[in-house]
Amino acid sequence: MVRSKTSIDKNRFQQDPAFVTQRQYSEWLQIASPIASKIYRQLPRQKGLQQKMTGQVMRWLKQGYSVYAATELLMQAYLSPQWEEPANASTATTLAQLVTLLSAPWQQKIPPGIFAHPTAIPLRI
């Protein structure tokens, strides 16, 4: 059996209305993965945990939560309640540092407020 080349190229994926859903999920994954990665690095290693965390952030983004609210929810779920004042400051990341590290590249790609949700959890900074 010979594998044939697909007719879908980059331009068609980015412009064809048939791929709107895939583009949206791709955008959510592009946002969720670095958030989960930064928090996962502060935890003891567990198989499949980073993917689980990425999926949770994607669900929150899909529900309409802001990037900031999803980040705080993930930090509350997986880090100690005193994450604002970590015991090991050299490896731990505060919410303000995480938002600064992760939000800069998105400002050019995602319009501000695209994930804003009227019931999003306000941040404690």
**Residue 47 tokens, joined:** 């198989």
Residue 2's pLDDT is: 83
pLDDT digits (tens, 9 = 90+) for 15-72: 999 999 999 999 999 999 999 999 999 888 899 999 999 999 999 999 999 999 999 8
Span 80-87, mean pLDDT? 50
pLDDT value at residue 12: 92
- In 3-94, which residue ranges form alpha helices assigned H by DSSP? 10-15, 20-40, 49-63, 67-78
Which residues, at least 6 apart from 79, have a Cβ–Cβ distance to it below 8 Å?
39, 42, 43, 92
Greater confidence (90 vs 76) lies with 76
Tell me what the mean pLDDT of segment 95-119 comes to. Answer: 49
Q: What is the pLDDT of residue 40?
A: 92
**Residues across the chain:** 125
Q: SS3 breakdown of the chain: % helix, strand, coil, rounded to 5? A: 55, 0, 45
φ, ψ for residue 104, nearest 5 deg: -55, -50
Q: Give the pair of three-digit tokens for residue 104.
A: 């800069």
Single pTM value for the model: 0.61
Query: Which band of pLDDT confidence, cut at 50, 70 and 90, is reported for residue 103?
Result: low
